[in-house]
Amino acid sequence: MEVTNASANSVQHDAPGQIPNDGTGVVQLDPWLGPFKDALRSRYTKAHNWIKTINDTEGGLDKFSRGFEKFGFNVQDNGDIVYREWAPSALRAYLVGDFNGWNRDSHQMNKNEYGVFEITLPAVNGQPAIPHDSKIKISFVVPNDHARQERLPAWITRVTQDLSVSPVYDARFWNPPNDEKYVFKNPRPPKPLSARVYEAHVGISSPEGKVATYKEFTQNMLPRIKNLGYNVIQLMAIMEHAYYASFGYQINSFFAASSRYGFPDELKELIDTAHGLGITVLLDVVHSHASKNVLDGLNMFDGSDHQYFHGGVKGTHELWDSRLFNYGSHEVLRFLMSNLRFWIDEYQFDGFRFDGVTSMLYQHHGIGTGFSGGYHEYFGPNVDEDGVVYLMLANEMLHNVLPDIITIAEDVSGMPALCLPLSLGGIGFDYRLAMAVPDLYIKWLKEKSDDQWDMGTLVFTLTNRRHGEKTIAYAESHDQALVGDKTLIFWLCDAQMYTNMSTLSELTPVIDRGMKLHKMIRLITHGLGGEGYLNFEGNEFGHPEWLDFPRAGNNNSYHYARRQFNLVDDPILRYHFLNDFDSKMQHMEEKYGWLHSPQAYVSLKHEGDKVIVFERAGLLWIFNFHPSNSFTDYRVGVEEAGTYRIIINTDSTAFGGHGSVQEDTKFFTTPFAWNNRKNFLQVYIPTRTALVLALEHTL
């Protein structure tokens, strides 16, 4: 459970300029952290010691994070190729590939005192000695048995897989001629004041049973996302992963954009086109663990189990069956921080959603651990201080390199100061995901009848976030769409999804309830839940089926590894009502900016009536969750006097509702205190309906 600081508003701030420079500045925001000053100082000191070491030995974080200019393959101006690889345990190394007929002995590399192997291949007639897109590997002689083993270069930027031959990836020397390299045309859009995030997976972005491509996403999805009103795209499963069904979470080549969807330049075109539409693009980055593949991953790369990872049991995630990085290693820090920098510099990504942050923060990786919200759980021996410090360094580097960058943490624990800057002792993220919110909705839909929904608990869960730390709220993400789980629309309408979503069929009580609650849940999450909003692709229109990638258990079927946009485009089907409502929310947020406005003031949580009323961004939000009761002349408090009009009505016929509320109604305030507000007005609020009102002069 995520915790909030109940006394945040009563904090006694020190005089300006008196923020301590020892990592305990966060205590001024949250005095409850006072007993943990030693732990805060320790992580802060460790981060600054790393910064000093990197400044002294590497020329600073900026240069350190451009490790790809030194490691991997770099082509010099004269056509020479310089290849470097860190592999301290390997005894000898040779470069092999198509270019030398896979001769294992002709191109031996030199090893320095730091365990870095290096070779220079002189240009041939001014051209690189290795042909563009030809296959290459590094061949090691490893300790123990002095055996030879071939590996994919760790910094390789393109790998391909021919499943008809072998599931093992091939490394490619990607070096297109200058006149064929993609040139970005559009500048990055400015950082959005409100982040409205569309979480997407390129491969599933087609109604057809296949792996969709970067080009298809650019042509078909970008206009759809733009028209819906989202301004941020979070792309999943881009870093190359060995197993498609892992949803991109078993990375084997960290610098390679997945070749399943096309060529590197086609991903660049996707991002560039999004920028031209004013859309920010984030990469779902996985630095929490790595594929345990040996033949085409980092595991046992130099013959040891402890090069990039912790050795032994500590280096294995027992639930994910994957390897765990050693964040206390100088070269691992170089590799991971350069990986982040590479995606920004090479592909023009605008930021990252860090996956599995809870696993990085704690020695127990969140396994078998329920977080009660007690502050002692966030400090002490259970914390992986090296993991915390890596995230501090990564965020510090990223925000220095790209001030408008967005970083989002997927942390279920509620770690304090996760979204505060390093200068205050924070870890430096811009946003955290409100993971407790979708959990509440699913739990209620599974376990409670509608009349048992608790308005106080709903409001608490949506507003329970740390003072001064920004949150991205969501009703459901990809997690709820995966097979084994169920989306909100499935929980609501499962029995009749395939029979009653046509307007030519009867609007049954099941479908009516489902569509009403689908809209209300999204709207209250959008308005009350955070400083950003996220939706997983397809859920905006109530996608009728779960997500299941081709695997042995389903006969390698693509039937559920797709998004059926053909359904929302059919005017006879009710899906377009949900889609149109979602678009309305995004465009109204763009106009009124509630996500970047101060947190809402909740004036009413009425358990008997199942009514919630709050104000945010000058708007009046009214929700009636009662399963059967409608209310006439319902009195709601509002601070600002004036004439109000409806800007969002979940019951509008345009969104598949009943049209019970007159859209052009004017609501006049009465100067009489009500629910701690200076004025009140009266509304008709039908059962399972939400209204958002705005002052007439703002329309």
User: What is the number of helices (H) and of strands (E) in the chain?
Assistant: 16, 29
> Within 13 A of 596's CA, how many CA atoms are on the CB side?
12
Residue 117 phi/psi, 5° resolution? -90, 145
**CA-wise closest residue to 575 among 518, 525, 533, 650:** 518
Closest CA to 390 of 341, 336, 349: 336
φ/ψ region of 5 (left if φ > 0, alpha if ψ in -120 to 50, else beta) reads beta
Closest CA to 232 of 472, 439, 412: 472
Distance CA 22, CA 43 (A): 10
**What is the rounded CA–CA span in Å between residue 46 and residue 54?**
12
Q: How far apart are CA 616 and CA 623, in angstroms?
A: 14
Quote the CA–CA distance of 128 and 130 in Å, as a whole number: 5
C-beta separation of 542 from 489 below 8 A: yes
Q: 187-196: string of b/e by CB count within 10 Å (b at 16+)?
A: ebbebbebbb
Catalytic residues, which ones? 355, 410
Report the candidate in 93, 137, 138 with the shortest Cα–Cα distance to residue 111. 93
CA distances from 325 to 64, 287, 298, 305 (A): 18, 8, 10, 11
| Structure tokens belonging to residue 235 | 């792309």
Q: Which of 525, 536, 448 is nearest to 487 (CA)?
A: 536
* Residue 315 Rama label (left phi>0; alpha psi -120 to 50; beta): alpha
